[in-house]
Amino acid sequence: MSPLPTTAPGARTTDFRFRCIACGDERETASQDFRCAHCGDLLEITYPLWKNFSRDIAQLKSLWRERKLSQSPIDLSGVWRFRDLLPALANDDQAITLREGNTPLYELPQCARITGVPRLLAKHQGLNPTGSFKDAGMTVAATFARLAGFRWVACASTGNTSASMAAYAARGGLRSLVLVPEGQISWSKLSQALDYGAVTCQLRTDFDGCLRLLQELVRRAPVYQLNSINPFRLEGQKTLALELLEQLDWSPPDHIIVPGGNLGNSSAIGKALLEMRDLGLISRLPKLSVIQAAGANALLRTLRETAGKSLISVQAETRATAIRIGNPASWKKAVHVLEATGGACEQVTEIEIAQAKAEIGAEGIGCEPASAVTLAGLKKLVKQEFVKREESVVLVLTGNLLKDPDFTMDFHRGDLFKGAPGENASAALDQLRRPPIILDATLDAVIRTLEQAEKS
């Protein structure tokens, strides 16, 4: 099988270019591995015409609000509604969309009391069509895959990417290939890819091994890569920040805190913030901070041990499977975003993740374990006085509670840390556990249980 160019007729428009993040080389086309032809580093999408950006900002904001009232399929998407700042389509019907985006911004009053930060909000990307933030990027990347003439799309995944890619491929009439590490992802996520018709391969390696194999595959076969290495993915994901700022009436919060795995999402949000500032959509930058699991802390170690100059890879191990990545592809982009916004990077333990997840759940919202690192990390940033108590904070929750029900059930049954190094310390979490209660089928038994619960 011979490869196709990623920018076959129909995919490239005159409004954007591919630029290397390292050497700055700009081109109108990209190879299938989305690497710079000159130095081999990652690419990003830039918009040369923005140098003479003449759109009236107030009118642009008004246009985005008006589109929310439209019944046009492309306007029903919370991503394509902001298409003025995305790679252009020849016509609106070209978009592959599942009405992604339009996710809620919740207040977190209980978590605010716990952290001592009264102005605490959560942007819940887990309420996207397939249950994670990946949908915002996948709608754009899948659209351009189809425009480029590809029949097959593929990804390496810890679960969420595979679910999202398979759904958008099915929606767009494409075939999908999923490479996942055997035994290292939630069955809930894997079941989504299967149901959406993906050819799913469980490889005897970790995520990083799956990604390396995918990179080799796309150089030899006409398969379009849909991991976050693909810069179209990040263009879609940056609309999270646009929608968030619109929900805040374009008044930036002091801090935005995101989980850190392969680091594409933090890179995309940071790119959006910088673009919004440069275009005059916002007057100041929030500080964007990245929180990692202590067992998958490649970015943290990279910043502390090399000052962000060279990647320190790790053997990733965490029950927060969505961020169990030891060799993050977008680390350079993330370092740039942290430096540009003045953000921080912190790590949290498995017990801290479990506690934060239960606390978010107690708000009636819920999230997958990887999302909970944001609240756990916020507690540390407050203690370090990096986040001041009078400042406003938005946590980005990246995945739905139902993405990893095994974690939730193990936590509430008290099995999550059995036999693990933190088993004794986890006893402090008992007050947050709500295990199911087995009773005789009698009214008295139920009433006694209700009375006991009232006392607790």
Helix (H) or strand (E) holding 170, with range, is helix 160-171
For 145-183, the pLDDT digits (tens) are 999 999 999 999 888 999 999 999 999 999 999 999 888
Percent residues over pLDDT 70 in the chain:
97
Query: Given this model, what pLDDT does residue 52 score?
Result: 82
What CATH number should be reported for the domain holding residue 266? Answer: 3.40.50.1100
Q: Is 310 exposed, middle or buried (0-12, 13-18, 19+ CB in 10 A)?
A: exposed
- The Cα–Cα gap between 398 and 395 comes to 9
User: Could you give the dihedral angle defined by the CA atoms of residues 337, 316, 217 and 142, in that order, rounded to the nearest 10 degrees?
Assistant: -50
Q: What is the pTM of this model?
A: 0.93
Cα–Cα–Cα angle for 416, 162, 265, nearest 5°? Answer: 80
Which of the residues in the chain have pLDDT under 50?
A: 1-4, 8-13
User: Tokens in use for 58?
Assistant: 């107030």
For 223-269, the pLDDT digits (tens) are 999 998 999 999 999 999 999 999 999 999 999 999 999 999 999 99
Residue 43 lies in a domain: no
Cα–Cα–Cα angle for 80, 84, 88, nearest 5°? Answer: 80
Residue 345 lies in a domain: yes
Backbone Cα Rg of the chain:
22
Residue 311 lies in a domain: yes
Residue 267 lies in a domain: yes
Query: Given this model, what pLDDT does residue 411 score?
Result: 93
Residue 383 lies in a domain: yes
Residue 293 lies in a domain: yes
Going along 318-428, which residue ranges are E strands?
345-348, 393-397
**SS3 per-residue string spanning 16-65:** CEEEECCCCCEECCCCCCCECCCCCCEEEEECHHHHHCCCCHHHHHHHHH
What residue has token string 């191990």? 317
Q: Is 175 exposed, middle or buried (0-12, 13-18, 19+ CB in 10 A)?
A: middle
Q: Which domain holds residue 400?
A: 105-130+236-431
Q: Is 422 exposed, middle or buried (0-12, 13-18, 19+ CB in 10 A)?
A: middle
Cα dihedral 446, 447, 448, 450 sign: positive
Residue 291: DSSP 8-state? E
Query: Given this model, what pLDDT does residue 14 score?
Result: 58
* Contact status, residue 325 vs residue 68, Cβ threshold 8 Å: no
For 196-220, the pLDDT digits (tens) are 999 999 999 998 899 999 999 999 9
Number of domains in the chain: 1
Residue 152 lies in a domain: no
Residue 15 lies in a domain: no
